[in-house]
Chain A
Amino acid sequence: MCGPPKQRDQHCAERDLICRPNLPLGSSVLSPGSVFKAPVGWSLGLPGYSQALLEIGTIIRSLGCCPSEGELHDLIAEVEEEEPTGYIRFEKFLPVMTEVLLERRYRPIPEDTLLRAFEVLDPSKRGFLTKEELIKYMTEEGEPFSQEEMEEMLSAAIDPESNSIHYKDYIAMMVVDDS
Chain B
Amino acid sequence: MSRRGALRLPPGPGSPGSQARFSIPAAAFRAAALIQRWYRRYVARLEMRRHCTWRIFQSIEYAGQQDQVKLHDFFSYLVEHFTPSSNHERDFLNRVFTEERFPQDAEMEKFSDYKSIEVPDNYTGPRLSFPLLPDHAAALVEAFRRKQQLHARYVLNLLHETRKHLEQLPNITRVSTCYSEEVTVCGDLHGQLDDLIFIFYKNGLPSPERAYVFNGDFVDRGKDSVEILMVLFAFMLVYPKEFHLNRGNHEDHMVNLRYGFTKEVMHKYKTHGKKILKTLQDVFCWLPLATLVDEKVLILHGGVSDMTDLELLAKLDRHKIVSTLRRKTRKENGKQATKEKATPPSGAGRPTPWFLPQTRSLPASPLRLGASGAPRAGRSSSIPCSCPADAKEPARRARRSVDLELDRCRRQAGLPVSPAQGEPLLCTPEADSEAEEPPEPTQEEWKQVVDILWSDPMTQDGCKANTIRGGGCYFGPNVTEQLLQKYNLQFLIRSHECKPEGYEFCHSRKVLTIFSASNYYEVGSNRGAYVKLGPALTPYIVQYQANEATHTLTMRQRISRVEEAALRSLREKLFAHSSDLLGEFKKHDADKTGFITLSDWAEAVESVLRLGLPWRMLRPQLVRSSTDNTLEYRSWLEDLAKEQLSHENIQSSLLETLYQNRSNLETIFRIIDSDHSGFISLDEFRQTWKLFSSHMNVDITDDCICDLARSIDFNKDGHIDINEFLEAFRLVEQSCPEGEASDCRQATSTTDGGCSKPGTH
Docked complex: A38-92 residues within 8 A CB-CB of B: 43-52, 54-55, 57-62, 65-71, 73
Docked complex: B38-52 residues within 8 A CB-CB of A: 38-45, 47-48, 51
Cα A43 to Cα B573 with chains together (Å): 25
Question: Which of the residues A55, A106, A142 comes within 8 Å of B30, measured between beta carbons?
Answer: A142
Judge if B759 is at the interface, Cβ distance under 8 Å.
Answer: no
Judge if B412 is at the interface, Cβ distance under 8 Å.
Answer: no
Cα A117 to Cα B31 with chains together (Å): 5
Judge if B499 is at the interface, Cβ distance under 8 Å.
Answer: yes
B590 to A: closest C-beta gap in Å: 14
Judge if B34 is at the interface, Cβ distance under 8 Å.
Answer: yes
Question: Which of the residues B8, B27, B619 comes within 8 Å of A71, measured between beta carbons?
Answer: B8
Cα A58 to Cα B614 with chains together (Å): 15
Stretch at the interface among B283-291, B443-451, B454-462: B454-462
Judge if B497 is at the interface, Cβ distance under 8 Å.
Answer: yes
- Given A67-B37, A142-B35: A50 and B614 within 8 A (CB)? no
Question: Which of the residues A70, A140, A174 comes within 8 Å of B16, measured between beta carbons?
Answer: A140
Cα A54 to Cα B613 with chains together (Å): 15
Cα A142 to Cα B26 with chains together (Å): 10
Judge if B615 is at the interface, Cβ distance under 8 Å.
Answer: yes
Docked complex: B14-71 residues within 8 A CB-CB of A: 15-17, 24, 27-45, 47-48, 51, 54-55, 58-59, 62
- Please give, as numbers and ranges, the residues of chain B lying within 8 Å of A70 by CB-CB distance: 8-11
B451 to A: closest C-beta gap in Å: 14
A108 to B: closest C-beta gap in Å: 7
- Given A68-B7, A117-B31: A58 and B36 within 8 A (CB)? no
Chain A contributes a number of interface residues (CB within 8 A of B) equal to 69
Q: Are A58 and B7 in contact (CB under 8 A)?
A: no
Q: Are B31 and A27 in contact (CB under 8 A)?
A: no
Judge if A13 is at the interface, Cβ distance under 8 Å.
Answer: yes
A62 to B: closest C-beta gap in Å: 4
- Please give, as numbers and ranges, the residues of chain B lying within 8 Å of A152 by CB-CB distance: 43, 554-555
Binary interface encoding of chain A residues 137-179 relative to chain B, with 1 for a CB under 8 A from any of its CBs, else 0: 1101111110001001101100000000000000000100110
- Please give, as numbers and ranges, the residues of chain A lying within 8 Å of B585 by CB-CB distance: none
**Interface-centre pick from B11, B24, B30, B38 (highest chain A CB count, 10 A):** B38
**Interface-centre pick from A52, A118, A140 (highest chain B CB count, 10 A):** A52
Stretch at the interface among B125-133, B209-217, B420-428, B595-603: B595-603
Q: Are A141 and B29 in contact (CB under 8 A)?
A: yes
Judge if A99 is at the interface, Cβ distance under 8 Å.
Answer: no
Cα A63 to Cα B3 with chains together (Å): 18
A31 to B: closest C-beta gap in Å: 12
Cα A27 to Cα B622 with chains together (Å): 15
- Please give, as numbers and ranges, the residues of chain A lying within 8 Å of B615 by CB-CB distance: 26-27
A56 to B: closest C-beta gap in Å: 10
Q: Are B16 and A51 in contact (CB under 8 A)?
A: no
Cα A97 to Cα B499 with chains together (Å): 29
Cα A68 to Cα B26 with chains together (Å): 17
Judge if B606 is at the interface, Cβ distance under 8 Å.
Answer: yes
Judge if B468 is at the interface, Cβ distance under 8 Å.
Answer: yes
Q: Are B40 and A48 in contact (CB under 8 A)?
A: no
Judge if B373 is at the interface, Cβ distance under 8 Å.
Answer: no
Q: Are A141 and B32 in contact (CB under 8 A)?
A: yes
Q: Are B498 and A54 in contact (CB under 8 A)?
A: no
What secondary structure prevails in chain B residues at the interface with A? Answer: helix
- Given A50-B497, A113-B34, A141-B33: A156 and B16 within 8 A (CB)? no
Q: Are B31 and A121 in contact (CB under 8 A)?
A: yes
- Given A50-B58, A140-B16, A145-B36: A109 and B3 within 8 A (CB)? yes
Docked complex: A84-131 residues within 8 A CB-CB of B: 104, 106-109, 113-114, 116-118, 120-121
B437 to A: closest C-beta gap in Å: 38
Question: Which of the residues A13, A47, A120 comes within 8 Å of B619, measured between beta carbons?
Answer: A13
Question: Which of the residues B11, B38, B456, B499 comes within 8 Å of A66, measured between beta carbons?
Answer: B38
Closest A residue by C-beta to B506: A51
- Please give, as numbers and ranges, the residues of chain A lying within 8 Å of B612 by CB-CB distance: 27-29, 46, 49
Q: Are B51 and A44 in contact (CB under 8 A)?
A: yes
**Interface-centre pick from B8, B30, B617 (highest chain A CB count, 10 A):** B617
Closest A residue by C-beta to B48: A62
Judge if B4 is at the interface, Cβ distance under 8 Å.
Answer: yes
Q: Are B1 and A69 in contact (CB under 8 A)?
A: no
Cα A149 to Cα B708 with chains together (Å): 55
- Given A28-B614, A52-B51: A66 and B36 within 8 A (CB)? no
Judge if B669 is at the interface, Cβ distance under 8 Å.
Answer: no
Question: Which of the residues A67, A120, A174 comes within 8 Å of B31, measured between beta carbons?
Answer: A120
Closest B residue by C-beta to A119: B31
- Given A73-B11, A174-B42: A17 and B616 within 8 A (CB)? yes
- Given A70-B11, A152-B43: A141 and B3 within 8 A (CB)? no
Q: Which size bracket describes the interface of B in this complex?
A: 35 or more
Judge if B504 is at the interface, Cβ distance under 8 Å.
Answer: yes
- Please give, as numbers and ranges, the residues of chain A lying within 8 Å of B458 by CB-CB distance: 47-48, 51
Cα A142 to Cα B556 with chains together (Å): 24
Closest A residue by C-beta to B617: A26
Q: Are A52 and B38 in contact (CB under 8 A)?
A: no
Cα A20 to Cα B11 with chains together (Å): 34
A162 to B: closest C-beta gap in Å: 18
Q: Are A37 and B459 in contact (CB under 8 A)?
A: yes
Question: Which of the residues B28, B51, B55, B629 comes within 8 Å of A121, measured between beta carbons?
Answer: B28
- Please give, as numbers and ranges, the residues of chain A lying within 8 Å of B554 by CB-CB distance: 152, 155-156
B498 to A: closest C-beta gap in Å: 7
Judge if B382 is at the interface, Cβ distance under 8 Å.
Answer: no
- Please give, as numbers and ranges, the residues of chain A lying within 8 Å of B38 by CB-CB distance: 66, 108-109, 114
Q: Are A50 and B54 in contact (CB under 8 A)?
A: yes
A78 to B: closest C-beta gap in Å: 15
- Please give, as numbers and ranges, the residues of chain B lying within 8 Å of A141 by CB-CB distance: 17, 24, 28-29, 32-33
Judge if B323 is at the interface, Cβ distance under 8 Å.
Answer: no
- Please give, as numbers and ranges, the residues of chain A lying within 8 Å of B556 by CB-CB distance: 156, 177
A9 to B: closest C-beta gap in Å: 6
Cα A54 to Cα B614 with chains together (Å): 13
- Given A26-B617, A27-B616: A142 and B43 within 8 A (CB)? no
Q: Are A142 and B4 in contact (CB under 8 A)?
A: no
Closest B residue by C-beta to A109: B38
Q: Are A58 and B42 in contact (CB under 8 A)?
A: no
B597 to A: closest C-beta gap in Å: 6
Q: Are B11 and A14 in contact (CB under 8 A)?
A: no
Cα A97 to Cα B59 with chains together (Å): 28
- Given A27-B614, A107-B3: A153 and B39 within 8 A (CB)? yes
Q: Are B498 and A50 in contact (CB under 8 A)?
A: yes
Closest A residue by C-beta to B466: A48
- Please give, as numbers and ranges, the residues of chain B lying within 8 Å of A48 by CB-CB distance: 456, 458, 466, 468, 474
Q: Are A109 and B34 in contact (CB under 8 A)?
A: yes
- Please give, as numbers and ranges, the residues of chain A lying within 8 Å of B15 by CB-CB distance: 143-144
Q: Are B614 and A26 in contact (CB under 8 A)?
A: yes
- Please give, as numbers and ranges, the residues of chain A lying within 8 Å of B35 by CB-CB distance: 114, 117-118, 121, 137-138, 142
Cα A113 to Cα B703 with chains together (Å): 66
- Given A50-B58, A120-B27: A13 and B4 within 8 A (CB)? no
**Interface-centre pick from A69, A174, A177 (highest chain B CB count, 10 A):** A69
Cα A52 to Cα B8 with chains together (Å): 32
Closest A residue by C-beta to B513: A50
**Chain A to chain B: the 6 pairs with minimum beta-carbon distance, closest first:** A26-B614, A142-B33, A61-B44, A142-B32, A141-B32, A120-B31
> A residues bordering B, Cβ < 8 Å?
9-10, 13-14, 16-17, 20, 23, 25-29, 36-37, 43-52, 54-55, 57-62, 65-71, 73, 104, 106-109, 113-114, 116-118, 120-121, 137-138, 140-145, 149, 152-153, 155-156, 174, 177-178
17 pairs across A/B with beta carbons < 8 Å?
Answer: A23-B603, A36-B459, A37-B459, A46-B612, A50-B498, A58-B48, A59-B48, A68-B33, A114-B34, A121-B32, A137-B28, A142-B30, A142-B35, A143-B37, A144-B15, A149-B39, A156-B555
New A-B contacts (10) at CB < 8 Å, excluding given A28-B612, A47-B459: A9-B629, A36-B459, A61-B48, A69-B10, A70-B10, A71-B8, A117-B32, A120-B30, A137-B31, A145-B39
